[in-house]
Amino acid sequence: MISLRPRRSPSGNTRLSFFGLTVTATLTALLVSVSVTGAASAYYTTPGTGSGSSALGTLLPPTDLLVPATSAGTVSLSWTASVGTPAPTGYYATRIETGTGTTAPACGSGPTSTVVTASCTDLDILTGDYTYTVTAVYNGWTAASAASGGVTVSNPTQLAFQAQPPSATSGTAFTGQPSVAILNAEGRTVPTSTEPVTLTITDSPAGATLECVQNPVAAVAGIATFTGCRIDKAGSYTLTATANRLAAATSSSFTIEAGAADQLSFTSQPSDATGGIAFGTQPVVTVQDAFGNTVTTSTASVTATATGPSLTCSPASNTALASAGIAAFTGCAIARAGTYTLTATAGLLTTTSEPVTVVVGAPATLAFTTQPLTPSTAGAALSATVAVQDAGGNTVTDSTNLVTLGVTNGSTTCGSSTPTAGAASFTGCTLDTAGTYTLSATSAGLAPAQSAIITITAGAATALIFSTKPASATGGLEFGTQPVITVQDAFGNTVTGSTATVTLGVTGSPATGVLICTATSVVAVAGVATFGHCKIDRANAANSSYTLAATSPGLISVSSNITVAVGVPAKLIVSQVPATLKKGSPFSPLVLIHNAGGNTVISSATVVLSSATSSNPPGSLTCPAVGGKTQSAVAGVATFSNCEIDKAGTYSVTATGLGFSATATVVITNNN
């Protein structure tokens, strides 16, 4: 029923139209009161003064209200719109909690906030059991539907790993793929949930990347199942699963191992390089798989080389064995300044370092950059250049270290020089003695340098010298030391290429002395003329002085004094014994005491004269002078005067003395 009650109206008259009739009335108010479930009939009212109209009608409620039996926090409602007149201007939904009967607006709608469609979605519903009603609204009229069927809301609150990720090899899909369940507060899977779930690496180390065929993955029946998941970096990991407004889940820990050796990498680049000095940062080469993970099981032999100059590492090897996949080099250095790269190889694997610049270091050593000319002639000026270098042999161009040049193990110096652009130049250094030498360069605080061997040869032949000379001799005997004459240059060096003819002669007292040699003119061999079997035949009763002189055309001659001594008695000589003599004729024999060379020796020795013959009867030798047949020598000569042999025959006249004897033969004839 529709009831109308007049109220005092501040507006005055109201004009009503009932079934086509127009009525003007003064009303205080017209109140329409509807309080029904189902259809509602009423008269239309307007407030105020003026003309209005009204018609009788019925507002019908919506029908066939449908909701799902279960839900995960979101309920979709649909219904059949109200039919009849008037048509509703909108609808609002009400949620009714089963058991308590507590109602709450649904779908964000209400009497003043209606929806115009025949469906709506109720969001963010707490877990529980509910029914719904939908109310049609037409101006101030309402018509509510019957309650819907019950819906059980199981609201998801959290995630949990249903299948844990297993340990795997880097870059390879897990053998067991992870899956994540969407759970409600009681820990039960919410089968209606299709929430997208995202997997990430918990605290991703070293830029590790998780790759899956699809990520995020929408849950199916409350389970998000992932496929093709893999991680590229070795290490220990956990995965984190996240979804909108749900508590995240963390997987159990698993390990990603490195794969097979696939590449090398300089994990420590060489740097801080000075010529010849070990790098401040030594190279370290790591054996890695295809994803840059260290292959900790590798013990590969890794060899390092440099572009351009030689790379040297210690101890005496450019090869390092990897330990746990890491080959660490020590003592590596490059001598020459410049920019280089290192190359590391292990079997078929290779890698190149970043460029390393080697700079010139502090002065450390000297080096001959220009060697003295060899061979050189004695007295010729030598030149050399000595560089001040760092430990790697690079010239230190700003060095001002004073450099001194001298002969190694000698007293000869070639002076000192201050470097220009790191190089000290020397000129005018001379060596006048033939032989082999090295020059030594020194500078305070620097390692010295030694030149290559220099050969100094003799110059042109200019003179002769006695390289071996006899100082004394005995008349008539070969010199104990035979003379040797050497052809020399102006500096006294033997001219080994000379074949000059050298002649040896003698002058002195007595002038009758004669030099006797195998040859007195000898052709020099390698600049040396060697004489043999030389002697001087005569000496005075006392020692005699001679001068030996050596000459050769075009060369300065040389002479040497020699004293020739008489020597000691060595023999007797019987002289002045005629070959034939008449019986009774006197003769005066002389017995000379000689040395081995035939020179008379000053001696007063006693000499005895005797005779012998084969004649029979034999005659006798008589010497009437005082002493008879025994005489003392005077100055080495024993004189026997007026001696006779009284019978004819052939006689041997023998002189004896000093242990020596000498014999002369004389034939004595009869007077007639």
Structure tokens at 374: 């060899």
Do 574 and 557 touch, CB atoms closer than 8 A?
no
Task: Give yes or no on whether 263-359 and 463-565 have one common fold.
Answer: yes
Domain 365-447 is in which class? mainly beta
Cα(373)–Cα(454) distance, integer angstroms:
7
Cα angle vertex 75, ends 69, 77, to 5°?
90
Query: Tell me, what DSSP letter sits at residue 566?
Result: -
CB atoms inside a 10 Å sphere around CB 169: 20
pTM above 0.95, yes or no: no
pLDDT at 317: 85
Task: Output the CA torsion sign for 291, 292, 295, 300.
Answer: positive
Cα(49)–Cα(25) distance, integer angstroms:
9
Average pLDDT, the chain: 89
Among 3.40.50.261, 1.20.210.10, 2.130.10.30, 2.60.40.10, what is the CATH number of 156-257? 2.60.40.10
Q: Out of 56-60, 282-286, 407-411, pick the least confident.
A: 407-411
Cα(562)–Cα(544) distance, integer angstroms:
8
> pLDDT class for 124, splitting at 50, 70, 90?
confident
What superfamily would CATH give domain 571-669? Immunoglobulins (2.60.40.10)
Residue 190 has pLDDT above 70, yes or no: yes
Cα(445)–Cα(437) distance, integer angstroms:
25
State the residue for tokens 């101030």.
140
Pairing label, strands 435-437, 439-442: unpaired
Q: Region 450-466: what's the mean pLDDT?
A: 96
- 3 state DSSP class of 589: coil
Cα(467)–Cα(469) distance, integer angstroms:
7
Tens of pLDDT, residues 277-292: 999 999 999 999 999 9
**Residues of the chain with pLDDT > 70: what percent?**
90
Cα atoms in the Cβ-side hemisphere of radius 13 Å centred on 399: 29
Cα(438)–Cα(518) distance, integer angstroms:
43
pLDDT at 672: 59
CB atoms inside a 10 Å sphere around CB 669: 12
Do 18 and 36 touch, CB atoms closer than 8 A?
no
Per CATH, which fold does 463-565 belong to?
Answer: Immunoglobulin-like (2.60.40)
> pLDDT class for 542, splitting at 50, 70, 90?
low
Q: What is the CATH number of domain 263-359?
A: 2.60.40.10
What is 58-117 written as a DSSP string? Answer: EEPPPEEEE--SEESS-EEEEEEPP-SSSPPSEEEEEEEETTT--EEEETT-BTTB-BSS
pLDDT at 20: 37
What are 365's strand-pairing partners? 389, 447
Q: Out of 203-207, 265-269, 317-321, 401-405, pick the least confident.
A: 203-207
> pLDDT class for 509, splitting at 50, 70, 90?
low
* Between residues 356 and 50, the one the model is more confident about: 356
Every domain of the chain and the residues it spans: 13-58, 60-152, 156-257, 263-359, 365-447, 463-565, 571-669
pLDDT at 540: 65
Domain 60-152 is in which class? mainly beta
